[in-house]
Amino acid sequence: MHYFLKITWLAVCIIFTPGLSAGEPIKIIQAEFIPPYIYENESGNIVGLFSELTTEALKRAGTDSKIIIVPWARGYANVAQGKANALVPTFKTRERELDFIYPDEPLDKINTVLLKKNGTNIKWSGNLNVLSNQRVAIVRDVYISHNFNQEIENKKLTVYKASSYETLLKMLVADRVDIIAMPEMTAAYIIKKNDYKNIEALKPSLNETLAYIAFTKADRELTQKVSKAIKQMSEDGFTQERINHYNQYNNVFTQNKKTRD
C-alpha cells in the first residue's frame, strides 16, 4: 500500500495526516524548533537530523511526506485520538504506550547535559543536590530526566523557565542564570551559530534518552514497515552518516575548553 502523509512539527512534534494532494503547501502553525534535530533553514525548508531520518524511513516504507508545524499538545492529542498518524521525536514511557505504538528501532538518542560558563565554580559529579543553591533554567514543559523532574515536582529544585533553547542560552550568556539543562547537540548548534564563547558542557550527562517515531495504534502495519526501514538505515550506514554530519557542532565544547585552558 502506498501512503501519502503530511508531517507536522512544533518543537518536538511531527504529525502525519492522510489524504493530501501532492501540491498541498506546508502549513506552519507556529515556528519553534529544536535545532539541529528539526529546524527551518534560510530557504524556509524544514531540515535537521530527525527530519532527514524520519523522511528517509517513511520513504523506504513506501510513504511520501511533507513537514508542517503544530503545537505539541495538539499534535499529541490528534495522534492519540487517531486524527493523525504519528509523532516524532518522542520518548517511550509507560503512559505514552497507552496512547501510541512504537517501532522496535529508535531514530537516535538525545543526550541532555548541564551547561555553565567557564570559570563558574560549580562542581558537578551527577548529584542534583549541587544545583540546589544555583540559578538553574530549562525550557518550559520539557522533560529533562526522571530524577531532575522529580526534584522540581518535590520542590527541592527551583528552576527558571525559558520559552526556547535560544532564549535559554541567552540567559546563561547574560549571567541571568548560573546553569542550564538542554540537549547537547542543540546547545552546540546554537553556540556555534551565535559564536558564543566560554560555555562548558558538564559531564556526566543528565540523561540519554532514545528518541522514537510514535504511531497511532491504527497504524500497526505502517509502524512495522518503518521499524524495518530504520533498522535497514542503521545497517547500511545512512543513519550514522547523518549523525556524524550533525555531530560536527559538538566540537565547539572542545574549542571552548582549549580557550579556557
Q: Which residue reads 518536538 in cell numbers? A: 12
What pLDDT does residue 108 have?
A: 94
Q: Is 117 helix (H, G, I), strand (E, B) or coil?
A: strand
Q: How far is CA 115 from the centre of its chain?
A: 17
Please enumerate in sequence order all residues whose Cβ is within 8 A of that of 69, keeping only pairs 6 or more positions apart, or say none: 8, 9, 10, 27, 28, 29, 30, 31, 32, 46
Tell me what the pLDDT averaged over the chain comes to.
82
C-alpha to C-alpha distance for 233 and 227, rounded to whole angstroms:
10
What pLDDT does residue 10 have?
A: 46
C-alpha to C-alpha distance for 32 and 71, rounded to whole angstroms:
9
Strand 3-8 to 63-68 pairing: parallel
The CATH number of domain 110-207+252-260, selected from 3.40.50.300, 3.90.1150.10, 3.40.190.10, 3.40.640.10: 3.40.190.10
What does the DSSP 8-state code read for residue 13? -
Q: In the chain, what's the furthest Cα-to-Cα distance?
A: 59
- 151-206 tens-digit pLDDT: 999 989 989 999 889 999 999 999 999 999 999 999 999 999 999 999 999 999 99
Q: Please give the order of strands across the beta sheet that includes 63-68.
A: 16-18, 3-8, 63-68
For 1, half-sphere exposure in the C-beta direction (CA atoms, 13 angstrom radius) is: 8
Residues of the chain with pLDDT under 70: 1-33, 66-69, 254-261
Q: Which residue reads 511533507 in cell numbers? A: 66
Please say whether the beta carbons of 179 and 117 come within 8 A.
no
Buried b (16+ CB within 10 A) or exposed e, 82-108: eebbbbbbbbeeeebeebbbbbebbbb
82: left (phi over 0), alpha (psi -120 to 50) or beta: left
Amino acid at 137: A
C-alpha to C-alpha distance for 163 and 206, rounded to whole angstroms:
20
- 47-56 tens-digit pLDDT: 899 889 988 9
Q: Which three cell numbers stand for residue 37?
A: 534535530
The superfamily (CATH) of domain 3-108+211-247 is Periplasmic binding protein-like II (3.40.190.10)
Helices and strands (H and E) in the chain: how many? 9, 13
What pLDDT does residue 51 have?
A: 87
Q: Where along the chain do the CATH 3.40.190.10 domains lie?
A: 3-108+211-247, 110-207+252-260
